[in-house]
Amino acid sequence: MKSFKVLFATLIVAVMFMVGAGVASAQSPTNPGFPERINPSSEFCGQQGPRNLGACAAGLSQQYRSAAGLNTTPKYLYVRYAGVSQVGWGVNGPVACAFHESVTLYCNGSVHLGENTLKDIASKLPVNPEAYATFLAAHEATHHTQTTTGGTNLFPIFTSSKVQPFEQQADCVGGAAIGYWVMQGRFSETDALALQAQLRMSPTTTTHASGDKRAAAFETGYRSSSLNDCIGGAFAPTPLV
């Protein structure tokens, strides 16, 4: 049980604000609960509430992935409370997915969208909420592609600097997703620039590059005509399609 608690704490510390909106929530969970399955659909776009925002973003992420030939599909989960779910056993004990309402992350085939993160995107950031949430969903879904299509097990490295090229690649694909929706007329160039400016403010962490590098990765994807531009160099060599 002790190793399980330590692993849970490590997971929470490792993923806090890795990709999130950049606004921390001071609220603590008051009830236990597990993530709820989201139905990804653009039909939820324009509707009020964080759950609808998450479903909209998941739907736009999936539509982009289909158009780009990213054919593997993660689950999308709405997270209202902090917790941990065991997904297997490793040599050092339980292997688990931690989740938190103020965190957006990928684990074990699922994109976890935190309720507080979605609320903060909608109310506290100078950016189109649907554009920012779509970027987050597309970023995290890229980790699913890296795992399934690319055959990379990110779990052993996700708390170390070795994961940075994979995070950079996810920022690049997230930028490509926003570029796709700008071309489709759903988002504007102004939306994309505001999102990029927000990324530039991201702090440097062990797992993520500097804000300037993240903004540059986003722009590479946003301006690209092929996902091949998100492979190699500063990005992971992992194939995407």
Q: Which domain covers residue 68, as residue numbers?
A: 2-230
Asked if 228 and 235 count as a contact pair (C-beta separation under 8 A), the reply is no
Q: Is residue 222 part of a domain?
A: yes
Are the beta carbons of 12 and 82 closer than 8 angstroms? yes
pLDDT the model gives residue 157: 86
More confident residue, 155 or 237: 237
Give the residue-averaged pLDDT of 85-100. 70
59 within some domain: yes
68 part of a folded domain: yes
Starting from the edge strand earliest in sequence, which strands make up the sheet with 75-79, in order?
A: 36-37, 75-79, 110-114, 104-107
pLDDT band at residue 88 under the 50/70/90 scheme: low
SS3 45: coil
CA separation for the pair 105, 89 (Å, rounded): 21
| Six-digit token string for 39 | 């139905």
Pick from 24-28, 40-44, 58-62, 122-126: least confident: 24-28
237 inside domain: no
Domain count, the chain: 1
- pLDDT reported for residue 85: 77
Residue 235 lies in a domain: no
pLDDT at 159 over 90: no
Within a domain: residue 239? no
| 104 closest CA partner among 96, 93, 115, 94 | 115
User: Is 238 within the bounds of a domain?
Assistant: no
Task: Kindly report the pTM of this predicted structure.
Answer: 0.85
Q: How confident is the model at residue 15 (pLDDT cuts 50, 70, 90)?
A: very low
Structure tokens, 167: 């995070």
For residue 173, is pLDDT > 90? Answer: yes
Question: Which of 90, 86, 57 has the alpha carbon at shortest distance from 74?
Answer: 57
Q: Residue 236: inside a domain, yes or no?
A: no
